Amino acid sequence: MQWLAWGGPPRVLQRRAGWPIAGELIQVAPRLAMAFPVRVCAFVGRFADPRVGESIALLLPHLAARGVEVLVSEDLPPEAATGPFSRVDERAIVERADLIIAIGGDGTLLYAARLAARRDAPLLGINRGRLGFLTDVMPQDVVASVDSALQGESELDRRPLLEARLQPGGGAADASLALNDVVLQKLATGRMIDFETWIDGRYVNTHAGDGIVVASATGSTAYALSCGGPIVEPNLDVLVLAPISPHTLSDRPIVVSARSAIEIRLMERPDTRGQVVCDGTVLGELAPGGRMTVRLAPQTVTLLHPGGYDYYRLLRSKLHWGRGNVDHSR
């Protein structure tokens, strides 16, 4: 058994034996296990969005008063915010940030997760988008939630990442990370693609349709859900394979061990090309005979949640469950 400890008096320690166990929390002491104190904080978001600018304008003076240096990307419009902050490139955010705050929707957090994984910096999501399964801090709770993170009072939730790799690769950009999912989709409108799935070197099925989603437990509430996949609790060590608009009704989503190596082979068909997308970002194209592999990455991402985080309460809120008149609070 291996225990991962962070700087500062830990409140949560994570157990890892071989592969990361998503979302496993062990309460052991009264403070948060992260780089503490936070001296440098980075903002990530679509800064042209006035809702994002509103949260930044609120946080900048507050963080300055607490002696925290703020980094923002170079594309922040001059009129978007005033206050003490440094414009830096993406590399500086990765190298310097003790805490990354993603302001926007889940797409913003997915982008920020790739940055956070490169430094193992904790990530706090502020919801200024629409649904927000991952960005679970509401606008009215921004200051309190950031203060909790700075004081080490947030809940730490370590999530695994997926690594997608194209074979043969098309150069240096033939691999990428994903927190939610890796998608093989058809490149041409109006055409199906034919492909095979293999798991741990064993043939599973031949598919015809619009593609397939390989999702982590975290990503089970994203694209895979719209393909008929199940909702998977984030602490389960599994992957979901969900065909996209399959031609055969018996071609159903399946759940496999997260320790599995998934291989997708694009079959030799005239004028067939596929596209591989990781968390909404295009990784590359697959030609007939090309292969895509997906497995757990060695990196993980640490999400920060407000105190009292409850995954099932989140599902009720986002999916409008439990709308009856019965009071279930205890």
d(CA 314, CA 37): 29
CA 13 to chain centre: 21
pLDDT, tens digit (0-9, with 9 covering 90-100), for 116-131: 998 889 999 999 988 7
Domain membership flag for residue 20? no
Grade residue 327 by pLDDT with cuts at 50, 70 and 90.
low
Tokens 């950009």 found at: 173
Tokens 């370590």 found at: 158
Domain membership flag for residue 18? no
How far the first Cα of the chain sits from its last, in Å, is 35
With the CA atoms of 15, 20, 22 and 26 taken in that order, what torsion angle do they form, in degrees rounded to the nearest 10?
10
The CATH number of residue 81's host domain is 3.40.50.10330
Predicted confidence at residue 328, as pLDDT, reads 64
Based on the fold, state whether residues 39 and 95 are members of the same structural domain.
yes
Catalytic residue among 49, 89, 106, 271: 106
Based on the fold, state whether residues 80 and 193 are members of the same structural domain.
no
Based on the fold, state whether residues 181 and 246 are members of the same structural domain.
yes
Q: Which tokens sit at 228?
A: 């008929």
pLDDT, tens digit (0-9, with 9 covering 90-100), for 139-182: 999 999 999 999 889 999 999 999 999 986 544 458 999 999 99
d(CA 38, CA 301): 17
Which has more confidence, 100 or 5?
A: 100
Q: How buried is 308 (Cβ within 10 angstroms: 0-12 exposed, 13-18 middle, 19+ buried)?
A: exposed
Q: Which residues, in sequence order, are CB contacts of 86 under 8 Å at separation 6+?
A: 69, 70, 71, 72
Beta strand 281-286 with 123-127 is unpaired
Based on the fold, state whether residues 206 and 141 are members of the same structural domain.
no
Rounded average pLDDT over 47-67: 91
Based on the fold, state whether residues 212 and 288 are members of the same structural domain.
yes
Q: What is the DSSP string of 110-165?
A: HHHHHHHHHHT--EEEEE-SSS-SS--B-GGGHHHHHHHHHTT-SEEEEEEEEEEE
Domain membership flag for residue 17? no
Based on the fold, state whether residues 284 and 313 are members of the same structural domain.
no
H or E, element range at 195: strand 193-199
Predicted confidence at residue 115, as pLDDT, reads 92
- On the question of pLDDT at 293 being above 90, the answer is yes
Provide the residue range defining the domain that includes 142: 34-154+306-319
Q: In the annotation, is 106 catalytic?
A: yes
Number of domains into which the chain is organized: 2
Domain membership flag for residue 21? no
Based on the fold, state whether residues 186 and 132 are members of the same structural domain.
no
pLDDT, tens digit (0-9, with 9 covering 90-100), for 74-106: 766 666 556 688 888 888 888 899 999 999 999
